[in-house]
Structure 1
Amino acid sequence: MAEKKEKKAKKEKSENPGGKSNIVIIALLVLILIGIGSFAGFYFYQKSKSATPETKVVVKVEQTYLELGEYTVNLSDDKEKHYLKAKLSVGYDKTNKKLGTEATEDLIALQSTALEYLQSKKAEDFKSTNLENVKKELIDNLNKRVSQGQFIEAYFQELIVQ
Protein backbone atom coordinates (compact mmCIF):
# COMPACT_ATOMS: atom_id res chain seq x y z
CA MET A 1 0.00 0.00 0.00
CA ALA A 2 2.88 2.25 0.63
CA GLU A 3 4.00 1.58 -2.90
CA LYS A 4 0.64 2.70 -4.27
CA LYS A 5 0.85 5.99 -2.34
CA GLU A 6 4.35 6.68 -3.64
CA LYS A 7 3.28 5.97 -7.23
CA LYS A 8 0.25 8.21 -6.79
CA ALA A 9 2.43 11.04 -5.40
CA LYS A 10 4.92 10.67 -8.28
CA LYS A 11 2.06 10.65 -10.78
CA GLU A 12 0.62 13.88 -9.31
CA LYS A 13 4.04 15.55 -9.47
CA SER A 14 4.52 14.51 -13.08
CA GLU A 15 1.03 15.74 -14.09
CA ASN A 16 1.55 19.22 -12.52
CA PRO A 17 5.22 19.93 -12.91
CA GLY A 18 6.04 23.48 -11.76
CA GLY A 19 2.46 24.68 -11.17
CA LYS A 20 3.56 27.61 -9.04
CA SER A 21 6.41 28.47 -11.36
CA ASN A 22 3.97 28.82 -14.31
CA ILE A 23 1.99 31.43 -12.39
CA VAL A 24 5.15 33.35 -11.53
CA ILE A 25 6.30 33.32 -15.15
CA ILE A 26 2.91 34.55 -16.39
CA ALA A 27 2.89 37.32 -13.77
CA LEU A 28 6.40 38.41 -14.82
CA LEU A 29 5.37 38.48 -18.49
CA VAL A 30 2.33 40.61 -17.66
CA LEU A 31 4.51 43.05 -15.67
CA ILE A 32 7.04 43.25 -18.52
CA LEU A 33 4.25 43.98 -21.03
CA ILE A 34 2.83 46.70 -18.77
CA GLY A 35 6.30 48.25 -18.44
CA ILE A 36 6.87 48.21 -22.20
CA GLY A 37 3.43 49.71 -22.81
CA SER A 38 4.04 52.46 -20.26
CA PHE A 39 7.43 53.31 -21.75
CA ALA A 40 6.02 53.37 -25.28
CA GLY A 41 3.12 55.59 -24.24
CA PHE A 42 5.45 58.03 -22.48
CA TYR A 43 7.89 58.05 -25.40
CA PHE A 44 5.22 58.79 -28.01
CA TYR A 45 3.58 61.39 -25.77
CA GLN A 46 6.90 63.24 -25.42
CA LYS A 47 7.59 62.92 -29.13
CA SER A 48 4.17 64.34 -30.04
CA LYS A 49 4.73 67.24 -27.63
CA SER A 50 8.06 68.10 -29.22
CA ALA A 51 6.68 67.68 -32.75
CA THR A 52 4.29 70.60 -32.25
CA PRO A 53 6.37 73.19 -30.40
CA GLU A 54 4.64 76.32 -29.21
CA THR A 55 6.90 78.91 -30.74
CA LYS A 56 6.21 82.57 -30.77
CA VAL A 57 6.67 84.23 -34.08
CA VAL A 58 8.44 87.51 -33.63
CA VAL A 59 7.45 89.99 -36.26
CA LYS A 60 9.80 92.89 -36.65
CA VAL A 61 7.75 96.07 -36.95
CA GLU A 62 9.25 99.07 -38.63
CA GLN A 63 8.59 101.99 -36.33
CA THR A 64 8.09 105.66 -36.78
CA TYR A 65 8.28 108.08 -33.89
CA LEU A 66 6.16 110.81 -32.39
CA GLU A 67 7.98 113.34 -30.24
CA LEU A 68 6.02 114.21 -27.14
CA GLY A 69 8.45 116.93 -26.14
CA GLU A 70 10.59 117.87 -23.20
CA TYR A 71 9.32 117.72 -19.63
CA THR A 72 10.59 119.21 -16.40
CA VAL A 73 8.44 118.00 -13.52
CA ASN A 74 8.51 117.70 -9.76
CA LEU A 75 8.42 114.06 -8.75
CA SER A 76 6.08 112.79 -6.03
CA ASP A 77 8.76 111.85 -3.49
CA ASP A 78 7.59 112.30 0.09
CA LYS A 79 10.69 113.26 2.05
CA GLU A 80 12.94 114.93 -0.51
CA LYS A 81 12.24 117.24 -3.41
CA HIS A 82 13.29 115.69 -6.72
CA TYR A 83 12.67 116.77 -10.22
CA LEU A 84 12.85 115.07 -13.58
CA LYS A 85 13.96 116.49 -16.88
CA ALA A 86 13.14 114.21 -19.80
CA LYS A 87 12.75 114.37 -23.53
CA LEU A 88 10.25 111.74 -24.64
CA SER A 89 9.19 110.06 -27.89
CA VAL A 90 6.95 107.09 -28.59
CA GLY A 91 7.23 104.57 -31.40
CA TYR A 92 4.41 103.00 -33.37
CA ASP A 93 3.97 100.87 -36.49
CA LYS A 94 5.01 102.91 -39.52
CA THR A 95 2.28 101.34 -41.68
CA ASN A 96 -0.48 102.54 -39.33
CA LYS A 97 -1.21 105.93 -40.89
CA LYS A 98 -4.47 106.27 -38.94
CA LEU A 99 -2.64 106.15 -35.61
CA GLY A 100 -0.13 108.71 -36.87
CA THR A 101 -2.92 111.08 -37.87
CA GLU A 102 -4.83 110.54 -34.61
CA ALA A 103 -1.70 111.01 -32.47
CA THR A 104 -0.76 114.21 -34.28
CA GLU A 105 -4.27 115.62 -33.89
CA ASP A 106 -4.44 114.65 -30.20
CA LEU A 107 -0.82 115.57 -29.41
CA ILE A 108 -1.78 117.93 -26.58
CA ALA A 109 -3.85 115.23 -24.87
CA LEU A 110 -1.01 112.72 -25.22
CA GLN A 111 1.49 115.24 -23.83
CA SER A 112 -0.81 115.93 -20.89
CA THR A 113 -1.16 112.21 -20.20
CA ALA A 114 2.63 111.79 -20.27
CA LEU A 115 3.10 114.83 -18.00
CA GLU A 116 0.60 113.55 -15.43
CA TYR A 117 2.17 110.11 -15.49
CA LEU A 118 5.71 111.43 -15.04
CA GLN A 119 4.61 113.67 -12.14
CA SER A 120 3.16 110.65 -10.35
CA LYS A 121 6.52 108.83 -10.28
CA LYS A 122 9.27 108.90 -7.65
CA ALA A 123 13.00 109.33 -8.21
CA GLU A 124 13.72 105.65 -7.54
CA ASP A 125 11.36 104.69 -10.40
CA PHE A 126 13.87 106.11 -12.87
CA LYS A 127 16.78 103.91 -11.79
CA SER A 128 17.98 101.65 -14.58
CA THR A 129 16.44 98.56 -12.93
CA ASN A 130 12.96 100.13 -12.94
CA LEU A 131 13.08 102.09 -16.18
CA GLU A 132 11.54 99.35 -18.35
CA ASN A 133 8.51 99.23 -16.02
CA VAL A 134 8.14 103.01 -16.28
CA LYS A 135 8.21 102.81 -20.08
CA LYS A 136 5.65 99.99 -20.15
CA GLU A 137 3.27 101.83 -17.81
CA LEU A 138 3.67 105.03 -19.81
CA ILE A 139 2.83 103.21 -23.05
CA ASP A 140 -0.20 101.61 -21.38
CA ASN A 141 -1.45 105.06 -20.27
CA LEU A 142 -0.88 106.59 -23.71
CA ASN A 143 -2.60 103.67 -25.46
CA LYS A 144 -5.75 104.39 -23.44
CA ARG A 145 -5.91 107.78 -25.21
CA VAL A 146 -5.84 106.44 -28.79
CA SER A 147 -8.28 104.25 -30.69
CA GLN A 148 -6.62 103.72 -34.09
CA GLY A 149 -3.76 101.49 -32.94
CA GLN A 150 -1.17 101.02 -30.24
CA PHE A 151 2.11 102.65 -29.34
CA ILE A 152 4.89 100.08 -29.16
CA GLU A 153 7.71 101.65 -27.19
CA ALA A 154 8.65 104.76 -25.23
CA TYR A 155 12.06 106.37 -25.71
CA PHE A 156 13.86 108.83 -23.46
CA GLN A 157 16.33 110.91 -25.45
CA GLU A 158 17.20 112.79 -22.29
CA LEU A 159 16.64 111.72 -18.70
CA ILE A 160 17.91 113.63 -15.69
CA VAL A 161 16.71 113.07 -12.13
CA GLN A 162 17.88 115.40 -9.36
Structure 2
Amino acid sequence: MSSNPEPVVLGKIGAPYGVNGWVKITSYTESVEDIFDYSPWLLNRQGEWAEIKLVKWRWHGKAVVALLDGVENREQAQILTHCEIGIAPEQMKDLPENEFYWRDLIGCEVTNLKGYHMGVVDQVLETGSNDVLQVKANARDSFGKAERLIPFVTEQFIKSVDVSAKQILVDWDPDF
Protein backbone atom coordinates (compact mmCIF):
# COMPACT_ATOMS: atom_id res chain seq x y z
CA MET A 1 0.00 0.00 0.00
CA SER A 2 2.98 2.33 -0.13
CA SER A 3 1.79 4.08 -3.31
CA ASN A 4 -1.71 4.68 -1.90
CA PRO A 5 -2.64 7.39 0.60
CA GLU A 6 -2.50 6.43 4.25
CA PRO A 7 -5.71 4.73 5.44
CA VAL A 8 -8.12 6.63 7.66
CA VAL A 9 -8.18 4.99 11.10
CA LEU A 10 -11.74 4.37 12.34
CA GLY A 11 -11.06 2.18 15.36
CA LYS A 12 -9.13 -0.78 16.65
CA ILE A 13 -9.53 -4.44 17.49
CA GLY A 14 -9.88 -5.24 21.16
CA ALA A 15 -9.58 -8.51 23.04
CA PRO A 16 -11.05 -11.78 21.81
CA TYR A 17 -14.66 -12.42 22.73
CA GLY A 18 -15.47 -16.07 23.32
CA VAL A 19 -13.78 -19.03 21.63
CA ASN A 20 -15.17 -18.79 18.07
CA GLY A 21 -13.03 -15.94 16.70
CA TRP A 22 -15.15 -12.95 17.71
CA VAL A 23 -13.31 -9.76 18.73
CA LYS A 24 -14.29 -6.65 20.65
CA ILE A 25 -14.27 -3.47 18.58
CA THR A 26 -13.32 0.03 19.70
CA SER A 27 -14.91 2.51 17.31
CA TYR A 28 -13.73 6.09 16.82
CA THR A 29 -16.74 6.96 14.64
CA GLU A 30 -19.38 9.41 15.87
CA SER A 31 -21.81 6.58 16.63
CA VAL A 32 -20.19 3.30 17.64
CA GLU A 33 -22.04 1.26 15.02
CA ASP A 34 -21.07 3.65 12.16
CA ILE A 35 -17.78 1.76 11.81
CA PHE A 36 -19.78 -1.10 10.29
CA ASP A 37 -21.02 1.14 7.46
CA TYR A 38 -17.61 0.79 5.82
CA SER A 39 -16.39 -2.20 3.87
CA PRO A 40 -13.85 -3.56 3.33
CA TRP A 41 -11.75 -2.77 6.35
CA LEU A 42 -7.99 -2.48 6.37
CA LEU A 43 -6.14 -3.85 9.40
CA ASN A 44 -2.75 -2.54 10.45
CA ARG A 45 -0.68 -5.47 11.69
CA GLN A 46 2.90 -4.58 12.58
CA GLY A 47 2.91 -1.58 10.24
CA GLU A 48 1.39 -3.41 7.26
CA TRP A 49 -2.17 -2.67 6.10
CA ALA A 50 -4.15 -5.62 4.74
CA GLU A 51 -7.77 -5.90 3.65
CA ILE A 52 -10.17 -7.97 5.74
CA LYS A 53 -13.88 -8.55 5.38
CA LEU A 54 -16.40 -8.26 8.17
CA VAL A 55 -18.63 -11.34 8.41
CA LYS A 56 -21.04 -9.99 11.02
CA TRP A 57 -21.28 -7.87 14.11
CA ARG A 58 -23.59 -7.44 17.09
CA TRP A 59 -24.08 -5.44 20.24
CA HIS A 60 -22.76 -6.89 23.47
CA GLY A 61 -24.09 -4.67 26.24
CA LYS A 62 -22.90 -1.14 25.41
CA ALA A 63 -20.04 -2.45 23.27
CA VAL A 64 -19.84 -4.20 19.91
CA VAL A 65 -18.20 -7.43 18.85
CA ALA A 66 -17.44 -8.65 15.34
CA LEU A 67 -16.53 -11.77 13.45
CA LEU A 68 -13.94 -11.27 10.71
CA ASP A 69 -13.40 -13.43 7.65
CA GLY A 70 -10.76 -16.12 8.29
CA VAL A 71 -10.77 -15.66 12.07
CA GLU A 72 -12.24 -18.87 13.43
CA ASN A 73 -10.90 -19.31 16.96
CA ARG A 74 -9.71 -17.43 20.02
CA GLU A 75 -6.03 -17.82 19.14
CA GLN A 76 -6.49 -16.21 15.72
CA ALA A 77 -8.53 -13.42 17.33
CA GLN A 78 -5.81 -12.84 19.95
CA ILE A 79 -3.27 -12.11 17.20
CA LEU A 80 -5.43 -9.18 16.02
CA THR A 81 -5.68 -7.51 19.44
CA HIS A 82 -4.72 -3.80 19.20
CA CYS A 83 -4.66 -3.78 15.37
CA GLU A 84 -5.93 -0.50 13.94
CA ILE A 85 -9.02 -0.61 11.72
CA GLY A 86 -8.84 1.69 8.73
CA ILE A 87 -10.42 2.39 5.38
CA ALA A 88 -9.18 3.91 2.14
CA PRO A 89 -9.66 7.72 2.15
CA GLU A 90 -12.00 7.53 -0.85
CA GLN A 91 -14.43 5.48 1.26
CA MET A 92 -15.12 8.45 3.53
CA LYS A 93 -18.66 9.77 3.30
CA ASP A 94 -19.25 13.20 1.79
CA LEU A 95 -20.15 15.78 4.40
CA PRO A 96 -22.63 18.64 4.18
CA GLU A 97 -21.29 22.08 3.35
CA ASN A 98 -19.30 23.70 6.18
CA GLU A 99 -18.62 20.37 7.91
CA PHE A 100 -15.14 18.90 7.95
CA TYR A 101 -13.32 15.78 8.94
CA TRP A 102 -10.65 16.51 11.51
CA ARG A 103 -8.07 14.96 9.19
CA ASP A 104 -8.88 17.67 6.62
CA LEU A 105 -8.01 20.42 9.10
CA ILE A 106 -4.57 19.02 9.96
CA GLY A 107 -1.92 21.00 8.11
CA CYS A 108 -4.14 24.02 7.43
CA GLU A 109 -2.48 27.43 7.73
CA VAL A 110 -4.19 29.59 10.37
CA THR A 111 -4.34 33.36 9.90
CA ASN A 112 -6.19 35.90 12.02
CA LEU A 113 -8.38 38.76 10.76
CA LYS A 114 -5.45 41.20 10.94
CA GLY A 115 -3.37 38.99 8.62
CA TYR A 116 -1.09 37.54 11.32
CA HIS A 117 0.00 33.99 10.48
CA MET A 118 -0.73 32.00 13.64
CA GLY A 119 0.80 28.72 12.48
CA VAL A 120 -0.37 25.33 11.22
CA VAL A 121 -3.02 23.01 12.68
CA ASP A 122 -1.11 20.15 14.28
CA GLN A 123 -4.14 18.29 15.65
CA VAL A 124 -7.74 18.71 16.72
CA LEU A 125 -8.63 18.01 20.32
CA GLU A 126 -12.03 16.92 21.52
CA THR A 127 -13.18 18.58 24.72
CA GLY A 128 -16.50 18.32 26.45
CA SER A 129 -17.89 21.58 25.12
CA ASN A 130 -16.27 22.07 21.69
CA ASP A 131 -13.38 20.90 19.56
CA VAL A 132 -10.09 22.81 19.81
CA LEU A 133 -7.48 23.44 17.12
CA GLN A 134 -3.94 22.84 18.35
CA VAL A 135 -1.93 25.23 16.20
CA LYS A 136 1.83 24.83 16.04
CA ALA A 137 3.24 28.34 15.92
CA ASN A 138 5.83 29.57 13.44
CA ALA A 139 9.47 29.17 14.33
CA ARG A 140 9.82 32.95 14.45
CA ASP A 141 6.62 33.69 16.36
CA SER A 142 6.91 37.30 17.54
CA PHE A 143 4.74 36.52 20.59
CA GLY A 144 6.99 33.71 21.82
CA LYS A 145 4.32 31.06 21.43
CA ALA A 146 5.15 27.44 20.58
CA GLU A 147 1.48 26.56 20.12
CA ARG A 148 -1.98 28.02 20.39
CA LEU A 149 -5.25 26.36 21.36
CA ILE A 150 -8.13 27.89 19.42
CA PRO A 151 -11.71 26.77 20.11
CA PHE A 152 -13.37 25.51 16.93
CA VAL A 153 -16.46 27.66 17.40
CA THR A 154 -17.74 28.82 14.04
CA GLU A 155 -18.85 32.43 13.64
CA GLN A 156 -17.32 33.40 16.99
CA PHE A 157 -13.67 32.36 16.49
CA ILE A 158 -13.54 30.40 13.22
CA LYS A 159 -14.51 32.80 10.45
CA SER A 160 -13.84 30.61 7.42
CA VAL A 161 -12.34 27.27 6.45
CA ASP A 162 -11.07 26.52 2.95
CA VAL A 163 -10.01 22.87 3.05
CA SER A 164 -8.90 22.82 -0.60
CA ALA A 165 -6.58 25.82 -0.04
CA LYS A 166 -5.63 24.53 3.45
CA GLN A 167 -6.52 27.92 4.99
CA ILE A 168 -8.42 28.80 8.18
CA LEU A 169 -9.30 32.39 9.06
CA VAL A 170 -9.81 33.06 12.77
CA ASP A 171 -10.80 35.92 15.04
CA TRP A 172 -8.09 35.25 17.61
CA ASP A 173 -5.48 37.44 19.27
CA PRO A 174 -1.96 36.12 18.54
CA ASP A 175 -0.97 36.83 22.15
CA PHE A 176 -3.35 34.12 23.44
Q: Shorter-normalised TM-score: what interval? A: under 0.3
- TM-score normalized by the length of structure 1: 0.21
Q: Hey, which of these two has a bigger chunk of strand by percent? A: 2
Q: Which has the higher contact order (CA 8 A, sep 6+)?
A: 1
- TM-score normalized by the length of structure 2: 0.20
